[in-house]
Structure 1
Amino acid sequence: MVSPAPTIRVQREDFDLQTEVDRLKKAAPGVGAIVTFSGLCRDEGGTLAALELEHYPGMAEAEMARIAELAIERFGLLGLTAIHRFGKIAARENIVLVIAAAPHRQAAFDGASFVMDYLKTSAPFWKREHGSDGSDGDWVSAKDADDAARDKWK
Protein backbone atom coordinates (compact mmCIF):
# COMPACT_ATOMS: atom_id res chain seq x y z
CA MET A 1 0.00 0.00 0.00
CA VAL A 2 1.30 3.45 -0.93
CA SER A 3 1.49 5.93 1.94
CA PRO A 4 -0.55 9.09 1.45
CA ALA A 5 1.34 12.32 0.86
CA PRO A 6 0.92 14.73 3.77
CA THR A 7 -0.37 18.25 3.25
CA ILE A 8 2.27 20.67 4.56
CA ARG A 9 1.95 24.46 4.51
CA VAL A 10 3.80 27.36 6.06
CA GLN A 11 1.78 30.52 5.54
CA ARG A 12 1.17 34.02 6.83
CA GLU A 13 -2.63 33.88 6.50
CA ASP A 14 -4.96 32.17 8.93
CA PHE A 15 -6.47 28.74 8.26
CA ASP A 16 -9.98 27.40 8.70
CA LEU A 17 -10.12 24.21 10.75
CA GLN A 18 -13.36 22.87 9.25
CA THR A 19 -12.21 23.49 5.67
CA GLU A 20 -9.00 21.56 6.36
CA VAL A 21 -10.84 18.66 8.04
CA ASP A 22 -13.28 18.43 5.12
CA ARG A 23 -10.39 18.46 2.63
CA LEU A 24 -8.64 15.62 4.47
CA LYS A 25 -11.83 13.52 4.76
CA LYS A 26 -12.35 13.72 1.00
CA ALA A 27 -8.74 12.75 0.28
CA ALA A 28 -8.48 9.84 2.74
CA PRO A 29 -10.93 6.98 2.15
CA GLY A 30 -11.34 4.48 4.97
CA VAL A 31 -11.03 7.07 7.74
CA GLY A 32 -12.62 6.08 11.03
CA ALA A 33 -11.07 8.79 13.21
CA ILE A 34 -9.80 12.32 12.77
CA VAL A 35 -7.89 14.12 15.51
CA THR A 36 -7.19 17.82 15.28
CA PHE A 37 -4.84 20.00 17.26
CA SER A 38 -5.03 23.75 16.87
CA GLY A 39 -2.37 25.73 18.72
CA LEU A 40 -3.24 29.32 19.60
CA CYS A 41 -1.24 32.34 20.67
CA ARG A 42 -1.77 32.57 24.45
CA ASP A 43 -2.36 35.97 26.01
CA GLU A 44 -0.40 35.02 29.15
CA GLY A 45 -2.98 36.54 31.50
CA GLY A 46 -3.32 39.70 29.44
CA THR A 47 0.41 40.50 29.31
CA LEU A 48 1.03 39.21 25.77
CA ALA A 49 -0.40 41.00 22.74
CA ALA A 50 1.21 38.90 20.01
CA LEU A 51 3.91 36.49 18.99
CA GLU A 52 6.16 37.16 16.04
CA LEU A 53 7.03 33.88 14.32
CA GLU A 54 9.92 33.52 11.93
CA HIS A 55 10.96 30.44 10.02
CA TYR A 56 13.70 29.19 7.73
CA PRO A 57 11.90 29.04 4.33
CA GLY A 58 12.27 25.76 2.51
CA MET A 59 13.89 24.07 5.48
CA ALA A 60 10.79 24.49 7.67
CA GLU A 61 8.56 22.84 5.05
CA ALA A 62 11.09 20.05 4.47
CA GLU A 63 11.35 19.27 8.18
CA MET A 64 7.57 19.36 8.61
CA ALA A 65 7.22 16.93 5.68
CA ARG A 66 9.86 14.63 7.15
CA ILE A 67 8.06 14.55 10.52
CA ALA A 68 4.68 14.01 8.84
CA GLU A 69 5.98 11.12 6.75
CA LEU A 70 7.44 9.47 9.86
CA ALA A 71 4.04 9.78 11.58
CA ILE A 72 2.17 8.36 8.58
CA GLU A 73 4.47 5.34 8.45
CA ARG A 74 4.70 4.77 12.21
CA PHE A 75 0.98 5.04 13.00
CA GLY A 76 -0.56 3.87 9.72
CA LEU A 77 -2.24 7.20 9.11
CA LEU A 78 -4.52 7.57 6.11
CA GLY A 79 -3.88 11.31 5.88
CA LEU A 80 -2.13 14.11 7.67
CA THR A 81 -2.23 17.89 7.45
CA ALA A 82 0.24 20.23 9.17
CA ILE A 83 -0.04 24.00 8.79
CA HIS A 84 2.20 26.48 10.61
CA ARG A 85 1.79 30.23 10.41
CA PHE A 86 4.48 32.90 10.48
CA GLY A 87 4.45 36.66 10.97
CA LYS A 88 2.95 38.64 13.81
CA ILE A 89 0.09 36.66 15.33
CA ALA A 90 -2.21 38.31 17.86
CA ALA A 91 -3.23 36.68 21.13
CA ARG A 92 -5.96 34.04 20.70
CA GLU A 93 -5.25 33.65 16.97
CA ASN A 94 -4.27 30.34 15.34
CA ILE A 95 -0.59 29.43 15.06
CA VAL A 96 -0.47 25.76 14.11
CA LEU A 97 -2.85 23.05 12.95
CA VAL A 98 -2.25 19.30 12.86
CA ILE A 99 -4.90 16.91 11.60
CA ALA A 100 -4.32 13.16 11.68
CA ALA A 101 -6.68 10.72 9.97
CA ALA A 102 -6.58 6.99 10.70
CA PRO A 103 -8.77 3.90 10.64
CA HIS A 104 -9.04 4.01 14.46
CA ARG A 105 -8.84 6.71 17.15
CA GLN A 106 -5.64 5.72 18.96
CA ALA A 107 -3.51 5.92 15.80
CA ALA A 108 -5.00 9.35 15.02
CA PHE A 109 -4.34 10.63 18.57
CA ASP A 110 -0.79 9.24 18.58
CA GLY A 111 -0.04 10.58 15.12
CA ALA A 112 -1.18 14.11 15.99
CA SER A 113 0.76 14.10 19.29
CA PHE A 114 3.89 12.75 17.61
CA VAL A 115 3.79 15.47 14.95
CA MET A 116 3.30 18.27 17.49
CA ASP A 117 6.02 16.97 19.81
CA TYR A 118 8.50 16.93 16.93
CA LEU A 119 7.36 20.25 15.41
CA LYS A 120 7.99 21.99 18.75
CA THR A 121 11.59 20.77 18.87
CA SER A 122 12.77 20.05 15.33
CA ALA A 123 11.17 22.46 12.89
CA PRO A 124 13.06 25.76 12.38
CA PHE A 125 10.59 28.28 13.81
CA TRP A 126 11.42 31.09 16.25
CA LYS A 127 9.03 33.10 18.43
CA ARG A 128 9.38 36.60 19.83
CA GLU A 129 6.93 37.99 22.36
CA HIS A 130 5.21 41.37 22.03
CA GLY A 131 3.75 42.67 25.29
CA SER A 132 0.33 44.20 25.71
CA ASP A 133 2.15 47.28 27.07
CA GLY A 134 3.79 47.78 23.65
CA SER A 135 7.14 46.29 24.63
CA ASP A 136 9.07 43.84 22.49
CA GLY A 137 10.14 40.89 24.57
CA ASP A 138 12.84 38.33 24.06
CA TRP A 139 12.92 35.47 21.64
CA VAL A 140 11.31 32.45 23.33
CA SER A 141 13.80 29.80 24.43
CA ALA A 142 13.38 26.09 23.91
CA LYS A 143 11.86 24.26 26.87
CA ASP A 144 13.13 21.05 28.47
CA ALA A 145 9.52 19.84 28.73
CA ASP A 146 9.22 19.98 24.92
CA ASP A 147 12.35 17.84 24.55
CA ALA A 148 10.99 15.35 27.09
CA ALA A 149 7.68 15.13 25.20
CA ARG A 150 9.55 14.40 21.95
CA ASP A 151 11.85 11.86 23.59
CA LYS A 152 8.96 9.67 24.76
CA TRP A 153 8.52 8.63 21.09
CA LYS A 154 12.05 7.27 20.75
Structure 2
Amino acid sequence: MDIRVQAEPFDFGAECANFGQGRRDVGAVVTFMGVVRDDSGALTEMEIEHYPGMTERAIAKIAQQARDRWALADVKVIHRHGRMRPGEAIMMVATAARHRKAAFEAAEYLMDYLKSRAPFWKKEYGADGAQWVAAKDEDEDALSRW
Protein backbone atom coordinates (compact mmCIF):
# COMPACT_ATOMS: atom_id res chain seq x y z
CA MET A 1 0.00 0.00 0.00
CA ASP A 2 1.38 3.37 -1.04
CA ILE A 3 -0.23 6.53 0.36
CA ARG A 4 1.34 9.88 -0.46
CA VAL A 5 0.27 13.47 0.15
CA GLN A 6 2.70 15.76 -1.61
CA ALA A 7 3.11 19.20 -3.12
CA GLU A 8 5.14 17.98 -6.09
CA PRO A 9 3.56 16.89 -9.36
CA PHE A 10 3.64 13.16 -10.08
CA ASP A 11 4.16 11.25 -13.30
CA PHE A 12 0.88 9.38 -13.79
CA GLY A 13 2.26 7.16 -16.52
CA ALA A 14 5.28 6.10 -14.46
CA GLU A 15 3.12 5.53 -11.37
CA CYS A 16 0.74 3.34 -13.39
CA ALA A 17 3.57 1.41 -15.04
CA ASN A 18 5.13 0.58 -11.67
CA PHE A 19 1.89 -0.29 -9.90
CA GLY A 20 1.32 -4.04 -9.65
CA GLN A 21 4.38 -4.77 -11.75
CA GLY A 22 5.63 -8.33 -11.41
CA ARG A 23 2.56 -9.58 -9.54
CA ARG A 24 1.15 -12.88 -10.75
CA ASP A 25 -1.85 -12.93 -8.41
CA VAL A 26 -3.54 -9.89 -9.99
CA GLY A 27 -6.00 -10.05 -12.87
CA ALA A 28 -7.11 -6.41 -12.82
CA VAL A 29 -5.52 -3.02 -12.25
CA VAL A 30 -7.68 0.09 -12.23
CA THR A 31 -6.19 3.58 -12.26
CA PHE A 32 -7.76 7.01 -12.05
CA MET A 33 -6.28 10.49 -12.24
CA GLY A 34 -8.16 13.54 -11.01
CA VAL A 35 -7.42 16.85 -12.70
CA VAL A 36 -8.01 20.44 -11.54
CA ARG A 37 -11.15 21.45 -13.43
CA ASP A 38 -12.21 24.99 -14.28
CA ASP A 39 -16.02 24.94 -14.17
CA SER A 40 -16.40 28.72 -14.27
CA GLY A 41 -13.87 29.53 -16.96
CA ALA A 42 -12.27 32.01 -14.56
CA LEU A 43 -10.19 29.74 -12.31
CA THR A 44 -6.52 30.67 -12.20
CA GLU A 45 -5.43 28.38 -9.35
CA MET A 46 -6.72 25.97 -6.75
CA GLU A 47 -5.05 25.66 -3.37
CA ILE A 48 -5.41 22.57 -1.22
CA GLU A 49 -4.56 22.62 2.46
CA HIS A 50 -4.28 19.68 4.86
CA TYR A 51 -2.90 18.68 8.24
CA PRO A 52 0.30 16.66 7.68
CA GLY A 53 0.17 13.31 9.42
CA MET A 54 -3.57 13.41 10.04
CA THR A 55 -4.40 13.38 6.34
CA GLU A 56 -2.10 10.46 5.54
CA ARG A 57 -3.49 8.44 8.46
CA ALA A 58 -7.08 9.10 7.39
CA ILE A 59 -6.38 8.04 3.80
CA ALA A 60 -4.41 4.97 4.91
CA LYS A 61 -7.31 3.92 7.12
CA ILE A 62 -9.88 4.08 4.31
CA ALA A 63 -7.43 2.43 1.90
CA GLN A 64 -7.01 -0.46 4.36
CA GLN A 65 -10.80 -0.73 4.66
CA ALA A 66 -11.03 -0.95 0.86
CA ARG A 67 -8.24 -3.50 0.79
CA ASP A 68 -10.03 -5.68 3.32
CA ARG A 69 -13.51 -5.28 1.81
CA TRP A 70 -12.49 -6.13 -1.77
CA ALA A 71 -9.51 -8.40 -1.01
CA LEU A 72 -7.20 -6.07 -2.91
CA ALA A 73 -3.66 -7.10 -3.65
CA ASP A 74 -2.48 -3.49 -3.60
CA VAL A 75 -3.62 0.14 -3.33
CA LYS A 76 -1.98 3.41 -4.26
CA VAL A 77 -3.29 6.89 -3.46
CA ILE A 78 -1.40 10.06 -4.32
CA HIS A 79 -2.98 13.41 -3.49
CA ARG A 80 -1.35 16.76 -4.00
CA HIS A 81 -1.58 19.84 -1.81
CA GLY A 82 -0.54 23.43 -2.38
CA ARG A 83 -1.35 25.52 -5.44
CA MET A 84 -2.24 23.97 -8.79
CA ARG A 85 -3.49 25.32 -12.09
CA PRO A 86 -6.40 24.02 -14.17
CA GLY A 87 -5.41 20.92 -16.10
CA GLU A 88 -2.81 19.76 -13.56
CA ALA A 89 -3.09 16.33 -11.95
CA ILE A 90 -4.42 16.65 -8.42
CA MET A 91 -4.66 13.01 -7.36
CA MET A 92 -4.56 9.39 -8.42
CA VAL A 93 -6.02 6.14 -7.17
CA ALA A 94 -4.86 2.69 -8.25
CA THR A 95 -6.25 -0.65 -7.14
CA ALA A 96 -5.12 -4.19 -7.95
CA ALA A 97 -7.28 -7.26 -7.43
CA ARG A 98 -7.82 -10.78 -8.71
CA HIS A 99 -10.94 -9.66 -10.59
CA ARG A 100 -11.99 -6.43 -12.32
CA LYS A 101 -15.23 -5.89 -10.39
CA ALA A 102 -13.37 -5.66 -7.09
CA ALA A 103 -10.70 -3.37 -8.56
CA PHE A 104 -13.29 -1.01 -10.10
CA GLU A 105 -15.55 -0.90 -7.03
CA ALA A 106 -12.65 -0.31 -4.66
CA ALA A 107 -11.30 2.49 -6.85
CA GLU A 108 -14.72 4.18 -6.95
CA TYR A 109 -15.07 3.79 -3.18
CA LEU A 110 -11.68 5.43 -2.62
CA MET A 111 -12.44 8.27 -5.05
CA ASP A 112 -15.80 8.94 -3.37
CA TYR A 113 -14.11 9.01 0.02
CA LEU A 114 -11.34 11.32 -1.15
CA LYS A 115 -13.84 13.72 -2.70
CA SER A 116 -16.06 14.07 0.35
CA ARG A 117 -14.37 12.83 3.53
CA ALA A 118 -10.60 13.14 3.26
CA PRO A 119 -9.34 16.05 5.38
CA PHE A 120 -8.48 18.50 2.60
CA TRP A 121 -9.63 22.10 2.28
CA LYS A 122 -9.85 23.66 -1.18
CA LYS A 123 -9.71 27.31 -2.12
CA GLU A 124 -10.23 28.58 -5.67
CA TYR A 125 -8.57 31.71 -7.03
CA GLY A 126 -9.91 33.72 -9.95
CA ALA A 127 -10.42 37.22 -11.25
CA ASP A 128 -13.00 37.86 -8.50
CA GLY A 129 -10.63 36.86 -5.70
CA ALA A 130 -10.48 33.69 -3.62
CA GLN A 131 -13.22 31.52 -2.15
CA TRP A 132 -13.34 28.26 -0.23
CA VAL A 133 -14.96 25.34 -2.05
CA ALA A 134 -18.06 24.03 -0.29
CA ALA A 135 -19.01 20.36 -0.13
CA LYS A 136 -21.43 19.29 -2.87
CA ASP A 137 -24.57 17.28 -2.21
CA GLU A 138 -23.81 14.88 -5.07
CA ASP A 139 -20.44 14.05 -3.51
CA GLU A 140 -22.12 13.24 -0.22
CA ASP A 141 -24.81 11.23 -2.02
CA ALA A 142 -22.13 9.15 -3.77
CA LEU A 143 -21.01 7.80 -0.38
CA SER A 144 -24.46 6.44 0.41
CA ARG A 145 -24.04 3.52 -1.99
CA TRP A 146 -21.18 2.14 0.06
> Does the Cα contact within 8 Å between 1:48 and 1:129 map onto a contact in 2?
yes
Deviation at 1:143, TM superposition (A): 1.2
Q: Structure 1 residues 104 and 125, CA, compared in 2 at 3 Å: closer, same or farther?
A: same
| Whole-angstrom CA distance in 2 between matches of 1:50 and 1:30 | 41
Equivalent in the alignment of 2:100? 105
Equivalent in the alignment of 2:50? 55
Q: Structure 1 residues 29 and 142, CA, compared in 2 at 3 Å: closer, same or farther?
A: same
Q: Percent of pairs identical after alignment?
A: 47
TM-score, normalization: structure 2?
0.94
Q: Which digits, 9 at most, give the CA deviation of each residue in 1:21-58, with x for residues without a partner? A: 22222264411111111110012252111100001111
* Counterpart check, 1:140 vs 2:142: no
| Whole-angstrom CA distance in 2 between matches of 1:88 and 1:28 | 36
Structure 2: state its 5+ residue gaps: none
Superposition pairs of residues 27-66 of structure 1, within 5 angstroms: 28-66=23-61
Q: How many residues align?
A: 146
| Whole-angstrom CA distance in 1 between matches of 2:12 and 2:6 | 14
Runs of 4+ in 1 over 3 A off after TM superposition: none
> Does the Cα contact within 8 Å between 1:67 and 1:119 map onto a contact in 2?
no
Superposition pairs of residues 1-150 of structure 1, within 5 angstroms: 6-26=1-21, 28-131=23-126, 133=127, 135-150=128-143
What letter matches 1:91 in structure 2? P
Cα-Cα RMSD: 1.3
| Whole-angstrom CA distance in 2 between matches of 1:53 and 1:101 | 28
| Whole-angstrom CA distance in 2 between matches of 1:122 and 1:43 | 22
